[in-house]
Amino acid sequence: MEQKIIVAIDGYSSSGKSTMAKALAKTVGYHYVDSGAMYRAVTLFAMRHGMIAPDGTVDSNALEADLPKIHITFATDTDGSQVTELNGEVVEQEIRGLGVADHVSAVAAIGAVRDRLTALQREMGVKKGIVMDGRDIGTTVFPQAEMKVFVQASPEVRARRRWLELAGKGQNVSYQEVLDNVRERDRIDTTRAISPLRKAADALELDNDHLTMEEQMQWLLGKFQEIAGGKN
Ligand code: DC
């Protein structure tokens, strides 16, 4: 019988991990799950329901009470790309803007939110054959994953990539604003009490500051073949 594995790709924001994870999933015929999109969709829900004060404080009690009302799904767009849905509405574009980015780390630090999304993510991996990217996939969601990758790049390189991406989408933000956002998210993601971003002891490290996407993909595919080889 064909045996598939779980691939967990964790790393800092805008480190290029989603692009790599998506490409790997496509190449090897696995499902791709963007766990960050799930935290972003919950953040959008909280913003829309007035649960985030102007100073950024999140009303975690109200959000926790409403968690059963939040349904996150993934659908395929006409061009074949994956889009995130919040209660049946496609919110892909909205969750990628700086509005959501400004609040998502605070929402992702709430224990009840993490418990709910972790449970959903584990369900998605029951049949294996999945590539999931995020912050705690190799440490908390799938500590038993057969392949774990931890992606690193400097804040400046990541901010530049993100800024180019946002500018390409017509969003008017300065490089400095994006760099500040990247640094602030790094700080919150690595220092939160529950499931902080950290490399799993058994994760393979990839520092991609000086690598092209093609070089990264070659490396990733090579590792996948080594690990999944006999099993796939
Ligand atoms: O990967 P991303 O930038 O779309 O993630 C958005 C935010 O969600 C990020 O600030 C950290 C949080 N996140 C998390 O806490 N755990 C995950 N598994 C994925 C994302």
53 in any annotated domain: yes
1 in any annotated domain: no
What is the C-alpha to C-alpha distance for residues 131 and 124, in angstroms, rounded to an integer?
Answer: 10
**What is the count of structural domains for the chain?**
1
| Residue to mutate, 19, 44, 100, 135, ligand 1, most ligand atoms under 8 Å from C-beta | 135
**CATH code: domain of residue 22:** 3.40.50.300
Name the pLDDT band for 98 (thresholds 50, 70, 90).
confident
CA-based nearest residue to 5, from 146, 190, 103: 146
The dihedral built from the CA positions of residue 214, 218, 219 and 221, taken in this order, carries a sign that is: positive
42 in any annotated domain: yes
Give me ligand 1 centre to Cα 219, in Å. 24
Beta-carbon-side half-sphere exposure of residue 74 (alpha carbons within 13 Å): 15
Nearest CA to ligand 1 atom 3: 13
* Spatial contact of 132 and 24, defined as CB atoms under 8 Å apart: no
* Spatial contact of 151 and 19, defined as CB atoms under 8 Å apart: no
232 in any annotated domain: no
The three-point CA angle 103-108-110 to 5° equals 110
Name the pLDDT band for 171 (thresholds 50, 70, 90).
confident
24 in any annotated domain: yes
73 in any annotated domain: yes
Nearest CA to ligand 1 atom 13: 36
- Scanning the structure block, which residue is given the tokens 């799993």? 200
- Region 85-96 average pLDDT: 96
230 in any annotated domain: no
For residue 189, the ligand 1 atom closest to its alpha carbon is 11
Q: How far is CA 121 from the centre of its chain?
A: 11
Nearest CA to ligand 1 atom 2: 36
For the chain, the 3-state helix, strand and coil shares in percent, each to the nearest 5, are 50, 15, 30
Q: What is the dihedral of CA 196, 41, 48, 71, to 10 degrees?
A: -120
| Average of per-residue pLDDT values in the chain | 93
- Region 74-88 average pLDDT: 91
CA-only gyration radius of the chain, Å: 17
Name the pLDDT band for 229 (thresholds 50, 70, 90).
confident
- pLDDT above 70 covers a percentage of the chain that reads 98
Per residue in 55-71, pLDDT (tens digit) is 999 999 999 999 999 99
70 in any annotated domain: yes
C-alpha distances in angstroms, 98 versus 46, 109, 171, 177, 225? 15, 18, 9, 10, 37
Backbone angles phi, psi at 15, to 5 degrees: -90, 0
Note down the domain range covering 122: 6-225
* Spatial contact of 148 and 202, defined as CB atoms under 8 Å apart: yes
What is the C-alpha to C-alpha distance for residues 85 and 5, in angstroms, rounded to an integer?
Answer: 26
What is the C-alpha to C-alpha distance for residues 211 and 214, in angstroms, rounded to an integer?
Answer: 8
Name the pLDDT band for 48 (thresholds 50, 70, 90).
very high
For residue 40, the ligand 1 atom closest to its alpha carbon is 6
Token digits of residue 15:
């480190």
- Region 42-46 average pLDDT: 98
51, pLDDT greater than 60: yes
75, pLDDT greater than 80: yes
230, pLDDT greater than 70: no
Q: pTM of the entire structure?
A: 0.91
